[in-house]
Amino acid sequence: MRALIGGKGPDWVLEDIAPPEQLGALRIRVMAAGVNRADLYALEGTYTANSQGDGPFTAGMEVAGVVENGSLLSPDLPAGTPVMGITVGAFVDAAICDPRLVVPIPHGLDFTEAASLPVGLITEHDALVTQAGFTAGDSVLIVGATSSIGLIGVQMAKALGASTVIATTTTDAKRQALVDAGADVTVNTRTEDLAEVVLAATDGAGATITLDHVGGSLFAALPAATAIGGTIVSIGRLAGTGTELDLDTVAFRRQRLLGTTFSIRTRAELAAVVGALTAHVLPAVESRAISPRLDRVFDADDALAAAQHLRSGQGVGKVVFDFSAAHTTPDPAPDPVANIFGGIAQIGYVVRDVEASMRGFLATGVGPWFYLKGVRPQNFTYRGERADMAMDVAIANSGGVQIELICPVGDAPSMYRDFLAAGNEGVQHLAYWTEDYQGLYDRALAAGFTVGQEGQIGGADGRFAYFETEHHPGTVVEISDVGGTKRFVFDLVKLAADNWDWSNPIQEIDASLIGGDPAALAEIMAALG
């Protein structure tokens, strides 16, 4: 298949390469790919993505296409789904993508339009909202707004409720593009004083937030154009990385200066950035409050002309490669996603009142229940940090499936507490049991799963891990080691359900007994019926 390769000279080289494969990744049939200035910087050797290796590389970072092969990590993106997103190696007929870094294409967009958006959307939303803390009513100054990313920033600020959006250009011929994107005020920084125009447009206050895509000498003018207590975010440095800054102005106006880049962020950090688009940005794209601003579309065979056009700085909007000519077969049909975990052994509910939940299940014939208060897992970590988490737990069987009820106790962080804090209550996870815990754990990590929390109950053979798989409530995957004592206890719970005579429907067990020897546990369980 075709790929544009960098690292072999001043421009991309079109070559045939083997189709890529990566465990846990989505394989995308690339229909279009966005071209960014960072792609040119990568050719020059001044920009290297965190996950890019040394030597020649498949170029590109922005993709739109159709899922060819699905992933365990994204059951909501089966084969045949049109998607857009970011990846390493987008200038290719088929790309490998981390499923956390792509989203379904909003209704109404074609592939070239979709390919023009992902980098701009994540860059501007992360800078404006996540970093600068934008709220509706803020005034926003966007410097270098005729760039493809800047035009998205103008639209996004308006769509999210900015009171005034001021956008800069260096030529009057491009002012109309800024007005069309929603700018209330435009500034030609070559012929007008930036601070004067901004202060006049904001009743002397200055912009609450300034997003700068230019850098260089113009950056020195930004503190005077930004409000007292305002925030300046350095996104791009088209005019250079050096500037002279009057620190007195920054200090007297009590401003924050922030820098941002995606090149050194981890996959998990990028996933959070992409995930943040869901609430407000993607709906704004679907409603066309934020719309693509295409400049030119080039065939993948015409890469040199595309690079020259982008270097010229004459364009307004996005340059996109069209890869669709390579794909003449029908879109792939959805197919089942492979399962490395086995069969579901437990359905876990997170609830606010365990005792009320037990009574509800008893009314439907599920019991008897074994109830443990104040269970404290050993070596518990939440997103890699130790936490003294405690929980009330009850378990019972319904046929061959165990039902678990969990209520977190105290304020220690956990995925259970996150679930409740989000306004949810009910099914929170599906658990898979294994006697080869370490093997399954390693396979899950190799497939791209990320651990949200993990710990032990009952010693070294009582390990458990919850993966970050919650696409909607109830889809968290837990794996649990049942190589020792825990298996013995679970078998007794099932035996109790199989032989239940409706007596002793709720039996409270001392949580400190968890981890005791099997003979002692058997004696206690037998005494409880």
Domains of the chain in sequence order? 2-117+294-326 (3.90.180.10), 121-259 (3.90.180.10), 346-527 (3.10.180.10)
Residue 472 pLDDT exceeds 80: no
* Cα 174 from Cα 165, distance rounded (Å): 16
Q: What is the pLDDT of residue 227?
A: 98
pLDDT band at 199, cuts 50/70/90?
very high
Residue 174 pLDDT exceeds 80: yes
Which DSSP letter does residue 280 get?
Answer: T
Q: In the Cβ-directed half-sphere of 104, how many Cα atoms lie within 13 Å?
A: 14
How far is residue 210 from each of residues 62, 118, 136, 186, measured CA to CA in Å?
25, 21, 15, 14
Task: Enter the tokens of residue 121.
Answer: 């959307």
Task: Enter the tokens of residue 293.
Answer: 């601003």
Residue 53 pLDDT exceeds 70: no
Residue 298 pLDDT exceeds 90: yes
Q: What is the pLDDT of residue 266?
A: 87
Q: What is the pLDDT of residue 513?
A: 62
pLDDT band at 483, cuts 50/70/90?
confident
- First-to-last alpha carbon distance for the chain, in angstroms, is 66
% helix / strand / coil in the chain, to the nearest 5?
30, 30, 40
Which DSSP letter does residue 480 get?
Answer: E
- pLDDT tens-place string over residues 336-349: 556 788 899 999 99
Residue range 437-457: mean pLDDT, rounded: 90
Q: Is 222 helix (H, G, I), strand (E, B) or coil?
A: helix
pLDDT band at 528, cuts 50/70/90?
very low
* Cα 377 from Cα 464, distance rounded (Å): 10
- pLDDT tens-place string over residues 204-257: 999 999 999 999 999 999 999 999 999 999 999 888 889 999 999 999 999 999
How far is residue 93 from each of residues 27, 56, 89, 101, measured CA to CA in Å?
10, 18, 10, 18
Residue 300 pLDDT exceeds 70: yes
Q: In the Cβ-directed half-sphere of 1, how many Cα atoms lie within 13 Å?
A: 20
pLDDT band at 493, cuts 50/70/90?
very high
Cβ neighbours, 10 Å, residue 346: 18
* Cα 345 from Cα 490, distance rounded (Å): 10
pLDDT band at 510, cuts 50/70/90?
confident
Residue range 148-172: mean pLDDT, rounded: 96
> Nearest-CA neighbor of 399 among 493, 479, 478, 487?
493
Q: What is the pLDDT of residue 54?
A: 72
Outline where DSSP puts E strands in 383-438. 385-386, 390-398, 401-409, 426-434
Residue 51 pLDDT exceeds 60: no
Nearest 5°: the CA angle 300, 303, 304 is 160
Residue 517 pLDDT exceeds 60: no
Of 182-196, 389-403, 440-454, which gets the smallest average pLDDT?
440-454
Per-position b or e across 263-284, b if 16+ CB within 10 A of its CB? eebeeeebbebbebbeebbbeb
Share of the chain above pLDDT 90, in %: 72
Read off the pTM: 0.70
The three state secondary structure string of 105-159 is CCCCCCHHHHHCCHHHHHHHHHHHHHHCCCCCCCEEEEECCCCHHHHHHHHHHHH
* Cα 60 from Cα 14, distance rounded (Å): 13
> Nearest-CA neighbor of 58 among 18, 21, 91?
91
pLDDT band at 315, cuts 50/70/90?
confident
Q: What is the pLDDT of residue 527?
A: 45
Residue range 122-145: mean pLDDT, rounded: 97
Q: What is the mean pLDDT of the chain?
A: 91
Task: Enter the tokens of residue 449.
Answer: 């799963």
Q: What is the pLDDT of residue 268?
A: 86
Q: What is the pLDDT of residue 125?
A: 97
Residue range 19-27: mean pLDDT, rounded: 84
Q: What is the pLDDT of residue 455?
A: 96
Residue range 293-313: mean pLDDT, rounded: 92
Q: Is 413 helix (H, G, I), strand (E, B) or coil?
A: coil
Residue range 302-329: mean pLDDT, rounded: 89
> Nearest-CA neighbor of 117 among 263, 12, 108?
108
How far is residue 153 from each of residues 60, 212, 213, 222, measured CA to CA in Å?
21, 10, 10, 17
Task: Enter the tokens of residue 123.
Answer: 């860059």
